[in-house]
Amino acid sequence: MEKALSNKKIIALFLLPGLTVFLIFYFVPIVMTAYYSLQDWDGINPMAFIGLDNYTKMFTMDKSFWQAVWNSLAFLLVGVFIQLPVSFALALLVSRKMKGRKWFRNIYFFPVVMSTTMVSLLWVKIYDPNIGMLNTLMDTLGLGAWTGAWLGDTKTALLSVLIVTTWHYVGYNMLILFAGIQGIPEQYYEAAKLDGATGWKAVRHITFPLLSDVLRICIVLNVIYALKTFESVYVMTNGGPLNSTTVIALKMFQEAFLKQNFGYGSALAVFMVLECLIISWVLNKILTQEKIEY
């Protein structure tokens, strides 16, 4: 067995199927998309090479593009600075030895099991200005002045969608962090207790440092998910009102498949891929160097 594992030809043979799948379904489509981004193409008529015109239009002429970039960054900031801390707090809570912690863990994770479309449609009904549970509850509590068309107002639409995505995926990060906390030996906490380090002190000096790798993974996953958010926005608002909730992935879909502008849609896709790669690489570099010291 050891001989086989040290034989580079055998290793290459085992890697070949996975590498082939990666090249066919990941690398080749990315290269083709980059090629299409240099064309003026409606998906039917012959392509016309226009060079970097699509990128020039994207950065200098398309005002809704920058709105979409900001909205994508809003999902990123909420995912890292709100969703992740909430997930960590819940992971700490369900990792404590208390009665019914398994039930709490299942309850917090339950929204993740539901499809994004189902969750989005559910919250569309909750936000409905006429029959929605949210406005009804606020009226009951005497807060009728605060009710409104949550998904139909440019001031509240993006925040409303952000709340839904946070609620939907907070359990996903919670479960990853919970698994990491469970992997920390109990002896560390017992030794810290002898030195008087309990509660927040134990979390700060033991849990945080030993969870640094897990936290780094969660941050990168949140960033990637945030930058390619599509389904929840598409179902709840379709980018409206007035592009206040449009994100890059949705704009790419609208340009390519609704407006039949495949060249410009491909340019947006290339931008999204590069954006995810660059931000993830920078974050990974920063977090690796600092090792999330507390």
DSSP letters, 194-213, are: HTT--THHHIIIIIHHHTHH
- What sign does the dihedral 125-129-134-136 (CA atoms) show? negative
The Cα 206–Cα 211 span in angstroms is 8
| Residue 293 pLDDT greater than 70, yes or no | no
The Cα 137–Cα 126 span in angstroms is 10
The Cα 33–Cα 262 span in angstroms is 9
| Residue 102 pLDDT greater than 70, yes or no | yes
pLDDT tens-digit readout, 132-155: 999 999 998 888 888 889 999 999
Q: How far is CA 9 from the centre of its chain?
A: 38
Long-range contacts of the stretch 26-34 (C-beta < 8 A, 24+): 30/273, 33/266, 33/269, 33/270, 33/273, 34/266, 34/270
- Domains of the chain, by residue range, sit at 63-290
Query: In the predicted model, what is the mean pLDDT of residues 240-248?
Result: 93
pLDDT at 133: 92
Count Cβ atoms within 10 A of the Cβ of residue 37 and give its class: 0-12 exposed, 13-18 middle, 19 or more buried.
buried
- What sign does the dihedral 207-208-209-215 (CA atoms) show? positive
Superfamily the domain 63-290 falls into: MetI-like (1.10.3720.10)
pLDDT tens-digit readout, 152-189: 999 999 999 999 999 999 999 999 999 998 888 888 88
Largest CA distance in the chain: 76
Most trustworthy range by pLDDT among 75-89, 177-191, 278-292: 75-89
Query: In the predicted model, what is the mean pLDDT of residues 104-111?
Result: 86
